[in-house]
Amino acid sequence: MATVPKVDVGTDYKEKYGFSVPEDYIFKAKRGLNPEIVKEISWMKKEPEWMLNFRLKSLEIFRKKPMPNWGADLSVIDFENIFYYLKASDKQSTSWEDLPPDIKKTYDRLGVPEAERKFLAGVSAQYESEVVYHSLHEDLSKKGVIFTDTDSALRDHPELFKEYFGTVIPPADNKFSALNSAVWSGGSFIYVPKGVRVDIPLQAYFRINAENMGQFERTLIICDEGSFVHYIEGCTAPIYTTDSLHSAVVEIIVKKNARCRYTTIQNWSTNVFNLVTKRALAYGDATMEWVDGNLGSQITMKYPSVYLMEPGAKGDVLSVAFAGKGQHQDAGGKMIHVAPNTTSTITSKSISKGGGRTSYRGHIKMYPGANNSKSFVKCDALLLDDESRSDTYPYNDVDAENVTLGHEATVSKVSDEQLFYLMSRGITRSEAETMIVNGFIEPFTKELPLEYAVELNRLIQLEMEGSVG
């Protein structure tokens, strides 16, 4: 009889992603949040005054806004126990060799340089608060493509930056966008000129290393008319017994006839609170696609949205969430139809295991005048046992005429018949379950570049085999 060795996902995550390296930092701000910390961050970055004022105003807004009283339970977050700014290296490198050894080792272990060599057109690596490595294929920069970290963009492209920054997601949008606006650091800035197609993906890798770290990257992507870009982000962190906070803001502008795809493979350790605001504006006949994979984290609240601003604009959200023991994935999407003849789809797949909880939360709004628009929402939940839970919270507001709005939701369990069938071919129970889950999320996986699809299937396998740690 063949026996399958058990993989302990806790151990395996620790080995592959969950390790940490010593803190040997250039600058570590004190714990807690106050105007002095915000001033210190801005001073460290040598920012123009308007940005400092933007930050301080955002901090006030954050203070005034109550915690969201819907979604996941966030009452355990202690904002005064978090480090808001950690700088691990005094310069940004364009060569992995130039990085401080511990940081280089970290990215080597995560396989980022290898991925860059094989299939990426540009890479950004953020370590704690700052981007430490950056690269972009030369032919793309010759075509006028800008791919840099957001701090550098503020310095090097001030006009472009100021024109768009904070216009898609103002600080007052929600409590966490206000927090991000006050203490933001790092993130990616991308500008794709008119008619330029970036055929090979650009990737950013976000890494938290220190305990009680707060990572607040800020990403701004501008796709000019008729352009295309595919941006991929990956995220991991060490396993600590106390919590870390990741609260990003991602703003995207997709101009006429342009297309932007934004793919996330988030694999935070289960001590991370992941509270992210992602929003795109899509203009005439433009397409915005969010491909959003949420594994890991303790709590995720994330609802990528698309504002369909002009006729013919199209928005897609395709998301997968996996919640294991002690995890709550509250995810979904928002489609705001402002103009007529706009279309949107949201496809949400969730898997709950070992008492984990997934929620789909979605909002479809069709403003007066957004006539002849179409939206379709499909949520499928897979429960792997009786202790796990899945809920659906769809909100629809339709004030337009002659519109089509569809919503389909299913909740299913791994069926005995499927398990029996696969096992009757010699496949072990755990492998059969993994196959069924991978088959369930295949509509998502098939949208990923091959290397990421393979990695996602492997991550699912780890989540399935272990007692999720």
Partner 1 sequence: MADFEIKDLRASVEGKQILKGVTLAINKGEVHAVMGPNGSGKSTLSHTLMGHPGYTVDGGEVIFKGQNVLALEVDERARLGMFLALQYPVVVPGISMTNFLRTALNAKRGYDGKDKSKQISPKEFRSMLKGELEVLHMDDSFLPRYINDGFSGGEKKRAEILQMAMLKPEIAILDETDSGLDIDSIKFVAEAVNRMRGPELGVLIITHYTRILEFIKPDFVHVLVDGKFVLSGGPEIANRLEKTGYAEWGEADEPKEVA
Name the residues that contact partner 1, by CB under 8 A: 1-2, 4-5, 415-418, 420-429, 431-432, 435-436, 438-443, 461
- CB nearer to partner 1: give 105 or 429: 429
Please answer whether residues 8 and 148 qualify as being in contact, where contact means their C-beta atoms are separated by less than 8 angstroms: no
Strand, helix or coil for residue 247: coil
Smallest distance, Å, CB 443 to partner 1? Answer: 7
- CB nearer to partner 1: give 219 or 348: 348
Task: Of 412, 407, 404, 383, give the one whose Cα is nearest residue 395.
Answer: 407
Strand, helix or coil for residue 216: coil
**CB proximity list for 113: less than 8 A, separation 6 or greater:** 96, 107
- Where residue 79 falls (left for φ over 0; alpha for ψ -120 to 50; beta otherwise) is alpha
- CB nearer to partner 1: give 50 or 420: 420
Smallest distance, Å, CB 447 to partner 1? Answer: 13
Encoded amino acid at 110, one letter: L
Query: Whole-angstrom Cα distance, residue 13 to residue 26?
Result: 28
CA 52 to the chain's CA centroid: 26
Query: Whole-angstrom Cα distance, residue 39 to residue 46?
Result: 10
- CB nearer to partner 1: give 21 or 432: 432
Sheet holding 202-207, edge to edge: 130-136, 122-127, 202-207, 228-236, 259-268, 287-296, 314-323, 343-352, 374-383, 404-413
Please name every residue paired with 357 in a beta bridge, in sequence order, or none if there are none: 328, 389
Beta strands in 38-99 (DSSP E): 86-87
Please name every residue paired with 296 in a beta bridge, in sequence order, or none if there are none: 268
- CB nearer to partner 1: give 4 or 26: 4
Smallest distance, Å, CB 445 to partner 1? Answer: 8
Please give the backbone phi and psi of residue 109, each rounded to the nearest 5 degrees, phi first. Answer: -65, -30
Smallest distance, Å, CB 319 to partner 1? Answer: 16
- CB nearer to partner 1: give 326 or 443: 443
| Range 142-153 burial, b when 16+ CB lie within 10 A, else e | eeebbbbbbbbb
- CB nearer to partner 1: give 88 or 459: 459
- CB nearer to partner 1: give 1 or 76: 1
Smallest distance, Å, CB 194 to partner 1? Answer: 39
- CB nearer to partner 1: give 44 or 453: 453
- CB nearer to partner 1: give 221 or 291: 291
Smallest distance, Å, CB 406 to partner 1? Answer: 20
Beta strands in 176-217 (DSSP E): 188-192, 202-207, 214-215
Quickly list H helices, 120-253: 138-142, 150-156, 158-164, 175-183
- CB nearer to partner 1: give 109 or 458: 458
Smallest distance, Å, CB 380 to partner 1? Answer: 10
- CB nearer to partner 1: give 368 or 439: 439
Token code pair at residue 429: 């129970």
Beta strands in 20-141 (DSSP E): 27-28, 86-87, 122-127, 130-136
Smallest distance, Å, CB 424 to partner 1? Answer: 5
Strands 86-87, 27-28: pairing is antiparallel
3-state helix, strand, coil split of the chain in percent (to 5) is 30, 35, 35
Smallest distance, Å, CB 464 to partner 1? Answer: 12
Smallest distance, Å, CB 418 to partner 1? Answer: 5
Smallest distance, Å, CB 421 to partner 1? Answer: 4
Query: Whole-angstrom Cα distance, residue 14 to residue 462?
Result: 12
Smallest distance, Å, CB 236 to partner 1? Answer: 22
